[in-house]
Amino acid sequence: MTASRPVRSFVRTVMPLGGDVSQWFDILRNFGNFAGARIGLFNIDLGLSRNPAVEQAVLDEVGSYGRQIGRLTEALVVVLDAFEPKRPLTPAEATAIDDLRLMAAHVEAIKRREADDAA
């Protein structure tokens, strides 16, 4: 007869804040140092910028990245509506345009849904 051995688990279950919390802070700090980022209670900035003051002014005065991308997308859809290619599009080009139009339509549907939910 063989003696039974305890089964060693490779999965460690730890409740939130139940383990070595300082380890997570070390990971975040090291990632922030690697990425040149600041991670704070209300601020997560993981991007690098040649001129952070200009970037912050653009965000404050022009709009969020989402708003900027949204405006670019809307303008591009207008351009695509008037687009008359001089040659047939390749399948990849046609797919890229279709994907952009689908994405723009999806964003508009979400905006409408959220506006309806807020009303």
Q: How far apart are CA 111 and CA 105, in angstroms?
A: 10
- Confirm whether 80 is domain-assigned: yes
Tokens 């989402």 belong to which residue?
66
**How many percent of the chain have pLDDT more than 70?**
61
- Read off the pLDDT of residues 77-106 as tens digits, 9 standing for 90 and up: 999 999 999 999 999 999 999 999 999 999
Q: How far apart are CA 52 and CA 60, in angstroms?
A: 12
What number of CA atoms fall less than 13 Å from residue 108's CA on the CB side? 10
- Confirm whether 105 is domain-assigned: yes
- Confirm whether 10 is domain-assigned: no
Q: What is the pLDDT of residue 11?
A: 46
Domain that holds residue 89: 64-119
Q: How far apart are CA 10 and CA 7, in angstroms?
A: 10
- Confirm whether 33 is domain-assigned: no
Tokens 């022009």 belong to which residue?
62
Tell me how many domains the chain contains: 1
- Confirm whether 114 is domain-assigned: yes
Query: Which amino acid does the sequence have at 31?
Result: F
Tell me, yes or no, if the pTM score tops 0.85. no
Residue 95 CA: distances (Å) to CA of 15, 34, 91: 46, 36, 6
